[in-house]
Amino acid sequence: MDSSLLSAPIASIGVPTEIKADELRVALTPDGVKELVTKGLEVRVQAGAGAGAGIGDEAFADAGAKLVKREEAWAAHLVVKVKEPQEEEFGLLRQDMVLFTYLHLAAYPKVGEALLNAGTTGVGYETVQLENGSLPLLAPMSEIAGRLAAQVGAHLLERPHGGRGLLIGGCTGVQPARVVVLGAGTVGWNAARLAAAMDAEVMLLDRSPERLRSLEARRRGRLISVVNSRGLLERLIPTADLLIGAVLTPGGRAPTLVDEEMVKQMKPNSVIVDVAIDQGGCVATSQETTHTHPTVTIHGVQHYAVGNMPGAVPFTSTEALVSVTLPYILGIAGRGLEEAVTERPELLSGLNTIQGSVCHPGVAKALGLPPRHPMACLR
Ligand SMILES: NC(=O)C1=CN([C@@H]2O[C@H](COP(=O)(O)OP(=O)(O)OC[C@H]3O[C@@H](n4cnc5c(N)ncnc54)[C@H](O)[C@@H]3O)[C@@H](O)[C@H]2O)C=CC1
Ligand SMILES: CC(=O)C(=O)O
């Protein structure tokens, strides 16, 4: 095993064009490129990679990037992306490469297998976790996805979009829609507060009373927070017009809080937005959809489960993503992965695979493989 890649600075950074369905974000902005190039690093951007986010090749070139073909971007020793590698990209994975991107291996075990077979070191944005439990590289996309969940849900409740024909906030003298949000983390809170701002009646559920207490002072409108239980879900879900799934166990598969029987009890043409689909989804009947074909109707309920929701707003989400990933990219490339982990210990939990081993306990459990301690893999 060649461990020099992990202990030495990485001189070349590649930014390929995203190829997941309807994914329009790009992993670096021209300002981000400039920061890296100023530090003496080489940044190779695939020509056209920024088009979806409104960033032209010229802007990248002016910032100091080399515009290259796909294979050259992937040939870099640090490849930064937005989404997990797609099957067409599996052949481009190598051992002498650190891949820094959203991986969501619990939901995409084939990607895990490909990384392990190739011996690629995969650092997942979504499992980089600070000591206080927060997820700094997931948070901005969760903010965006939460807000989108309320917007999309409101839209899907309208009759021409397949919904029951409800205005989410009702109107004077007429009851608003009832929105049930499962999980009061970043996605859940943002979805709930936007739905409440649209005058919906919102029930926000979480297993953690402490989390709900921390939100108390910020609660506005018709927003009620409750600690969830199976019995409560059984009573509440049949009353929901819009159900939003937003629970997470970092690295692991999302718990199935809503089984098929509960879905059958929902009102005809009600809506489920399962944001947690990128970790497998928290509704038994959810299956991943795309922005082009965003919904499927199962038991009379519209299911929206797009795995890359922020991809719909690439102008907003590219900036937001790079604002949090850039310091880590600088650290990994400028000082090497080992030293970057020492400087920013939260990176340790970002390590999902290292040269053929799984090294995140949640990911390992989801993949049914034994975890190795990341420090043991690094050294
Ligand atoms: N589909 C998409 O495009 C996107 C999906 N996401 C996903 O949304 C999900 C939520 O993300 P965040 O809000 O950032 O996570 P978070 O960690 O901020 O919040 C998750 C919440 O779920 C709660 N929870 C966990 N298990 C629970 C259970 N059994 N019952 C009730 N509550 C439970 C936790 O207490 C926590 O408050 C994740 O799967 C994330 O990957 C995030 C962004 C975009
Ligand atoms: C977090 C995630 O899955 C996304 O931004 O696409």
Cα separations in angstroms, 222 against 173, 192, 201, 215: 15, 10, 5, 14
Residues 355-367 as b or e (16 or more Cβ within 10 Å = b):
bbbbbbbbbbbbb
- Note the ipTM here: 0.99
pTM of full prediction above 0.90: yes
Residue nearest to atom 8 of ligand 1 (CA): 276
Residue ranges of alpha helices (H) inside 22-96 are 30-38, 57-62, 70-74
What pLDDT, in 10s, does the model give residues 18-52? 999 999 999 999 999 999 999 999 999 999 999 99
AA letter at 281: G
Tell whether ligand 1 has an atom less than 6 A from the beta carbon of residue 207. yes
pLDDT, tens digit (0-9, with 9 covering 90-100), for 305-345 = 999 999 999 999 999 999 999 999 999 999 999 999 999 99
pLDDT of residue 1: 47
Question: Do residues 180 and 244 lie in contact, with contact meaning Cβ atoms separated by under 8 Å?
Answer: yes
Under 8 Å between Cβ of 192 and 245: no
Gap between the Cα atoms of 84 and 112, Å rounded: 10
Work out the average pLDDT over 81-102.
98
Q: Using a 6 Å cutoff on CB, does residue 241 contact ligand 1?
A: no
Mutate to test the pocket of ligand 1, among 142, 208, 277, 286 (most ligand atoms within 8 A of CB): 142
- Answer left, alpha or beta for residue 165, where phi above 0 means left and psi between -120 and 50 means alpha: left
Q: Is 358 annotated as a binding residue?
A: no
Reading the block at residue 34, the tokens are: 């400039």
Two tokens, residue 163: 């919904």
Of 65, 137, 129, nearest in space to 101 by CA: 137
Question: Residue 376 has what pLDDT?
Answer: 83
- Per-residue pLDDT averaged across 4-15, rounded? 88
**pLDDT given at position 5:** 77
pLDDT, tens only, 213-242 = 999 999 999 999 999 999 999 999 999 999
CA of 257 to the centre of ligand 1 (A): 12
Instruction: State the sign of the Cα–Cα–Cα–Cα dihedral 100, 101, 107, 111.
Output: negative
CB 200 within 8 A of CB 171: no
Averaged over 153-180, what is the pLDDT? 98
H/E element, 280:
none
| pLDDT over 90, % of the chain | 95
Does residue 142 carry a pLDDT above 90? Answer: yes
Give the mean model confidence (pLDDT) for residues 149-160: 98
Rounded to the nearest integer, the mean pLDDT of the chain is 96
- Identity of the amino acid at 51: A
Query: Which pLDDT belongs to residue 147?
Result: 98
Residue in this structure with the two tokens 């695939």, named with its chain if needed: 46
All structural domains of the chain, each given as residue ranges with its CATH number in brackets, are 4-135+314-378 (3.40.50.720), 139-311 (3.40.50.720)
Residue that the structure tokens 């809503």 belong to: 258
Active site residues: 104, 278
**Which residue in the block uniquely carries the two structure tokens 């939100």?**
215
186-197 helix and 139-156 helix, angle to the nearest 10 degrees: 40
